[in-house]
Amino acid sequence: ASTSGSSRISHSKEAIKASFLDSLFYGIGRVPALATPNDRYTALALTIRDRIFQQFILTTESISKQDARAVAYLSAEYLPGPHLANNLLNLEITAQTREAMEELGIELDDLIAIEEEPGLGNGGLGRLASCYLDSLATLGIPAIAYGIRYEFGIFDQVIKDGWQVELTDKWLHYGNPWEVVRPEIAYEVKFGGRTEHGADSNGKFQVTWVPGSEVKGTAYDTPILGYKGNGAVLRLWRAEAIESFDFAAFNLGDYYRAVEAKMLSENITKVLYPNDQAQGGKELRLKQQYFFVTCSLQDIIRLHLIQGRNLERLHEKFAIQLNDTHPAIAIAELMRLLVDVHQLDWAKAWHITQNCFAYTNHTLLPEALEKWSIPLFEKVLPRHLEIIYEINHRFLEEIRHQHSYNNAQIAGMSIIDESGERYIRMAHLATIGSHSVNGVSAMHSELLKKEVLHDFAGLWPDKFCNVTNGITPRRFLYLSNTPLAELISSYIGNGWITDLDQLRKLEPYADDVSFQNSWMEIKLNNKQHLAALLQKQTGIEIDPAMLFDIQAKRIHEYKRQHLKVLHILSVYLRLKKGELINFSPSAFIFAGKAAPGYIMAKLLIKLINSVADLVNQDTEVNDKMKVVFMPDFNVKNAQNLYPAADLSEQISMAGMEASGTGNMKFSLNGALTIGTLDGANVEIRQEVGEDNFFLFGLSVEQVQANKTAGYQPYDIYQQNQHLREVLDFIVSGALSQGDTQLFRPLYENLLYQDPFMLLADYQSYIDCQEQVHELWREPKEWARKSILNVARMGKFSSDRSIRDYSDLIWKVTPINKK
C-alpha cells in the first residue's frame, strides 16, 4: 500500500497511457506497431488490474487488522459478465482511460467489445452469485467466493435453420488477464477407494479413508472490485494431476497410463453441465461438487489457522453460504475434516458445522431437487456416505424420541429416500446441517415452508427466513444504460448508485413533460442501438419506433415462452383478418438458451424462429409486427436488451419461478412488466403499484385448486374458438413448409397435459396485452409509469439483499477502511 503515487497505479490519463505502453511491452512483449487487437485488450486489462490490486491490498490489510468475521460464498456457478468496462466504472476512470486510448489511436469501445465473458453458469443462480459478490465488495464486507474454474463454460448458442446449435465456449482461448494463478494454494482431493476403521497408534478410534484416486485443486483468483474502493475475491479451483500419486498407483514404467491418468484428473473441471433445473445422476458432476467443496473448506480452515485461531471457533470467524444444494456435500466434508483429520469429537464438530452453514434454496421444481443414488455416491465418496448415515441416524433418533414423530413423518424427513431405489436427498442434508434456510422471494420462501420442506419448518420454525433476490445497479443500470443513469443523476444526484432507494426522488418528475421527453428519447436511442445489433446478428430489421416486447431467460416450459408465441400468432391471425386495427406496431424479441438435452425447449426455439420467418416475410403484416430471436443470450447481450425494452415478459405459471431477477433488470431500465403473481413479480408489483404493472393469470391458490379439480386443457381448447385457431395453426403446416408433424409434440402436450396451464391463462394474457396496447397509445401515460417503475425499484438492489443476509443470517458487518 506504500506504492501510491507511482505511475503504475495513478488514475491520471498520462499514467494510464504510460502503464498501457509498459504492459504492452513488458507484460506481453509487443511494440504498439505490431500489437493485435487482443494484445491491446490484454495490455489495458493488465493496466487496470494493477490499479485493482492497489485497492485490494488496502481491503486485505484492514480485514486482517480488524480480525473481521468473513463470508465464504460457495457456488458451483458464477456469471460475472465482461470485466473491463465494469472495472473502469468501479475505479471511476472510464473517461481518462478513453482519452488515453484515443491519444494512442485506439477506440476504448473496440477493446471492450473483444472481451470473452466467463460463462461459468447457466442462468439466474450464477448471475445472482455475481451480483452478490459485487455488493459484498461495494459494501466492504469481508468475503471470498469459491467456485469452479470450468475450462469450457456454458456453450455458445448459434441458430441454424431455426434450431439451436451448441458451440464450445472459448473464454480462455486468448488467455485471461483478470486472474492470477496461486500455485502454492493447492489442496489434495481424494475419490473412491474404501475406509478402514480401527485404533491408531495411541489406541484412539480412527477412520482412515484409503482413496482410489487423487487429484489436486489449484486456486485461480480474480479480484472483484466494488464501486469506489473495496474488493472481494473470486477464488476458482482447477483440477490437476498429482504426479506422485499417479506413478505410485500404476505399474512403474507404464509411462503412458500415468500420463493418461493426469489427463483424466483434469477432466473434473473441464466443462460446466449446461442444465438448469434437471440433471441425471452423473458421476462427474458429483466429483465436481465434492472437488470444489473440499478445496474451499481446506482453504477456509487454512485461513483460520494461519491467523493463530483455534479450530473450535471456526464458526465465529466464517459464515459459509451454500448457493443451492450444489455445494451441500460441504456439510459431510466439514464433519470429515473436523473429526477424521483434525480429531475433534463428533458433538463439537457438529456444533461448528451447523453454525457455519446456511442454505439458500432456489427452486421448488421436483426434478431440480438434487438426489444421488447410494451406489454411485458410495463409489465416489465412501467415507461421506458413512458420515451422512451417522448424521441421519442422530437426527432421526432426535425427532423420534424428543419430538415423537411417526414413521411416515420420519421417512419423509430422512436424508435417505427409501421409497424405491435408495437416494440421498441433498436438500435435507443442507437443511439439517445449516442454522438457516432461506428462499429467494417472499412467495417462494412461503411455498418452501408449505411444501418442499414443510416438516422441517414445523420442527425448526426459526431456521427459516426469506431474502428476496436483488441485482447490482452498477452493472445493470449505470454501466449498461449510462445515458439513463446520467439523466437520473442530473436530476437527483448520484447517491442512488450505492443507495438505490434514492431513486424515489424521481417520483416528482414522473409528470414533468420535459423529463418524460428526455426519458423516452433515451429509450428510443437504446432501441435504435439494439435494432442495429439485432440486424447485424440476425439480418432482421426492426423499426425502433415499435413497442419492444421482450422475453429473455432460459428456455423452459414453466417459463412459458410458448404462451407468448400463442399471443403472437393470435395477433398475426387477427391482423390477417383485418381485425385489431388499433394494434400498435410491435417487435417481439426472444433470447435464451435451451439445455442441449431438453427436446421440448429446443423445439420451442424452432417454433419461435418459424413464426419469425412467417411473420417477417409477410408484407401484409410486417410493418405492424416483427419477431426476432436474439442468439446467444449471455451477460454481454443482456446488457443490450434490458435498456431497450418497453415491455418485460414475466409470464411463468404462478408458483414456479422462485424469484426471477431478469424481471428486476427490465424494470430498473424503465420497462413495464406484464406478469403473473409469481416469484418476485409479487413484490415488484407491490413496490411499483398495481396501476403500473400488467397483471394476468391464475394465482398459486387457483393453480392448485385447478389441479385438484382435475385440470382439463382440452375443454378450454374446445370452448375458446380463437385459441383453437391459434393452436391448430401450429400444426397446419403453415409454419413448417407443409410439415404437420414437426410441432405436433408441443401441440399435443398443450391439449392433453398442459402441465404449466397455458390454456387456462391464455385469454387473461390476451386481454392483458390489449391493455398494454391501450396504454402504449398514450405516450405520456406510458412515460409516467415507466419513470415510476424505476423510481420504485430501490428494494431490488443486491445491496439490500446482502444487507439482509448480513443482518439476518451471517451476522457480519462492513470493515472500516483505514
Three-state secondary structure along 383-426?
A: HHHHHHHHHHHHHHHHHHHCCCCCHHHHHHHCCEECCCCCEEEH
* Distance in Å, CB of 751 to ligand 26Y, minimum: 27
Q: Which of 559, 560, 562, 567 is catalytic?
A: 559
The C-alpha atoms of residue 666 and residue 302 are separated, in whole angstroms, by 42
The C-alpha atoms of residue 661 and residue 648 are separated, in whole angstroms, by 12
Q: Which stretch binds ligand 26Y (CB under 6 A): 117-125, 206-214, 373-381, 391-399?
A: 117-125
Residue 56's CB is within 10 A of a number of other CB atoms, namely 21
Q: Is residue 362 a contact residue for ligand 26Y (CB under 6 A)? A: yes
- C-alpha 328 chain-centroid distance: 18
* 454 counts as catalytic: no
Nearest to 486 by CA among 519, 441, 460, 438: 519
* Distance in Å, CB of 617 to ligand 26Y, minimum: 35
Give whichever of 97 and 325 is closer to ligand 26Y, judged by the CB atom. Answer: 325
Residue in this structure with the C-alpha cell 426469506, named with its chain if needed: 466
* Distance in Å, CB of 683 to ligand 26Y, minimum: 12
Q: Which of 428, 474, 665, 792 is catalytic?
A: 665
The amino acid that residue 261 corresponds to is A
* 553 counts as catalytic: yes
* Distance in Å, CB of 595 to ligand 26Y, minimum: 9
Helices (H) and strands (E) in the chain — how many of each?
Answer: 34, 22
Give whichever of 389 and 558 is closer to ligand 26Y, judged by the CB atom. Answer: 558
Q: If phi over 0 gives left and psi between -120 and 50 gives alpha, with beta otherwise, what is residue 386? A: alpha
Q: Which stretch binds ligand 26Y (CB under 6 A): 42-50, 360-368, 515-523, 577-585?
A: 360-368
Give whichever of 84 and 136 is closer to ligand 26Y, judged by the CB atom. Answer: 136
The C-alpha atoms of residue 274 and residue 766 are separated, in whole angstroms, by 33
> Across the strands, what pairs with 693?
none
Residue in this structure with the C-alpha cell 472459448, named with its chain if needed: 170
What's the CA dihedral at 525, 529, 535, 537 to 10 degrees? -160
* Subset of residues 318 to 337 that bind ligand 26Y, contact rule: CB under 6 A: none
The three cell numbers of residue 397 are: 433418533
Q: Which stretch binds ligand 26Y (CB under 6 A): 123-131, 203-211, 534-542, 604-612?
A: 123-131
Q: Is residue 278 a contact residue for ligand 26Y (CB under 6 A)? A: yes
* Distance in Å, CB of 746 to ligand 26Y, minimum: 22
Distant-in-sequence, close-in-space partners of 459: CB < 8 Å, separation ≥ 6: 399, 403, 413
Q: Is residue 279 a contact residue for ligand 26Y (CB under 6 A)? A: yes
* Distance in Å, CB of 146 to ligand 26Y, minimum: 17
Q: Which of 49, 149, 315, 362 is catalytic?
A: 362
Give whichever of 366 and 458 is closer to ligand 26Y, judged by the CB atom. Answer: 366
Pairing of strands 180-191, 423-425: unpaired
Give whichever of 45 and 79 is closer to ligand 26Y, judged by the CB atom. Answer: 79
* Distance in Å, CB of 125 to ligand 26Y, minimum: 3
The C-alpha atoms of residue 84 and residue 42 are separated, in whole angstroms, by 10
Q: Give the chain's length.
A: 818
Do 331 and 410 meet the contact criterion of CB atoms below 8 Å apart?
Answer: no
What SS3 class is residue 336? helix
Terminal-residue alpha carbon distance, the chain? 11
Give whichever of 75 and 736 is closer to ligand 26Y, judged by the CB atom. Answer: 75
Q: What does DSSP assign to residue 596?
A: T
Q: Which residue, judged by CB position, is nearest to ligand 26Y in the bound state?
A: 124
Q: Is residue 726 a contact residue for ligand 26Y (CB under 6 A)? A: no
- C-alpha 647 chain-centroid distance: 22
Residue 720 — φ and ψ, nearest 5°?
-110, 105
The C-alpha atoms of residue 336 and residue 262 are separated, in whole angstroms, by 26
Give whichever of 123 and 140 is closer to ligand 26Y, judged by the CB atom. Answer: 123
The amino acid that residue 705 corresponds to is A
One residue of 370, 632, 646, 683 binding ligand 26Y per CB under 6 A: 370
* Distance in Å, CB of 277 to ligand 26Y, minimum: 5
Give whichever of 71 and 131 is closer to ligand 26Y, judged by the CB atom. Answer: 131
* Subset of residues 642 to 681 that bind ligand 26Y, contact rule: CB under 6 A: 657-661, 679
Residue 549 — φ and ψ, nearest 5°?
-110, 110
One residue of 35, 52, 74, 440 binding ligand 26Y per CB under 6 A: 440
* 309 counts as catalytic: no
One residue of 27, 124, 153, 675 binding ligand 26Y per CB under 6 A: 124
Nearest to 542 by CA among 533, 555, 551: 533
* Distance in Å, CB of 448 to ligand 26Y, minimum: 12
**Pattern 236-275, binding to ligand 26Y, x per CB under 6 A?**
---------------------------------------x
Do 471 and 797 meet the contact criterion of CB atoms below 8 Å apart?
Answer: yes
Pairing of strands 163-167, 231-241: unpaired
Give whichever of 733 and 755 is closer to ligand 26Y, judged by the CB atom. Answer: 755
User: Which contiguous run of DSSP H or E holds residue 239?
Assistant: strand 231-241
Q: Which stretch binds ligand 26Y (CB under 6 A): 361-369, 378-386, 598-606, 699-707?
A: 361-369
Q: Which of 13, 190, 336, 554 is catalytic?
A: 554
Q: Is residue 123 a contact residue for ligand 26Y (CB under 6 A)? A: yes
Q: Which of 222, 661, 673, 676 is catalytic?
A: 661
Q: Is residue 368 a contact residue for ligand 26Y (CB under 6 A)? A: yes
Do 13 and 100 meet the contact criterion of CB atoms below 8 Å apart?
Answer: yes
**Pattern 468-487, binding to ligand 26Y, x per CB under 6 A?**
-x------------------
* 577 counts as catalytic: no
Give whichever of 207 and 465 is closer to ligand 26Y, judged by the CB atom. Answer: 465
* 51 counts as catalytic: no
Pairing of strands 672-675, 416-417: unpaired
Give whichever of 19 and 661 is closer to ligand 26Y, judged by the CB atom. Answer: 661
* Subset of residues 674 to 713 that bind ligand 26Y, contact rule: CB under 6 A: 679
Q: Which stretch binds ligand 26Y (CB under 6 A): 120-128, 249-257, 611-619, 787-795?
A: 120-128
> Across the strands, what pairs with 673?
648
* Distance in Å, CB of 216 to ligand 26Y, minimum: 26
* Distance in Å, CB of 227 to ligand 26Y, minimum: 22
Do 754 and 600 meet the contact criterion of CB atoms below 8 Å apart?
Answer: no
One residue of 84, 128, 485, 793 binding ligand 26Y per CB under 6 A: 128
What's the CA dihedral at 148, 150, 154, 158 to 10 degrees? 170
- C-alpha 254 chain-centroid distance: 44
* Distance in Å, CB of 805 to ligand 26Y, minimum: 13
The C-alpha atoms of residue 507 and residue 524 are separated, in whole angstroms, by 21
Q: Which stretch binds ligand 26Y (CB under 6 A): 124-132, 241-249, 565-573, 688-696?
A: 124-132
* Distance in Å, CB of 776 to ligand 26Y, minimum: 28
Give whichever of 371 and 383 is closer to ligand 26Y, judged by the CB atom. Answer: 371
Give whichever of 169 and 276 is closer to ligand 26Y, judged by the CB atom. Answer: 276
Do 473 and 389 meet the contact criterion of CB atoms below 8 Å apart?
Answer: no
* 559 counts as catalytic: yes
Q: Which stretch binds ligand 26Y (CB under 6 A): 122-130, 206-214, 219-227, 514-522?
A: 122-130
Q: Which of 40, 51, 553, 606 is catalytic?
A: 553
Q: What does DSSP assign to residue 78?
A: B
One residue of 19, 42, 86, 122 binding ligand 26Y per CB under 6 A: 122
Nearest to 359 by CA among 460, 257, 218, 267: 460
**Residues that are catalytic:** 362, 553-554, 559, 661, 665
Residues within the interface to ligand 26Y (CB under 6 A): 122-125, 128, 275-279, 362-363, 368, 370, 440, 469, 657-661, 679
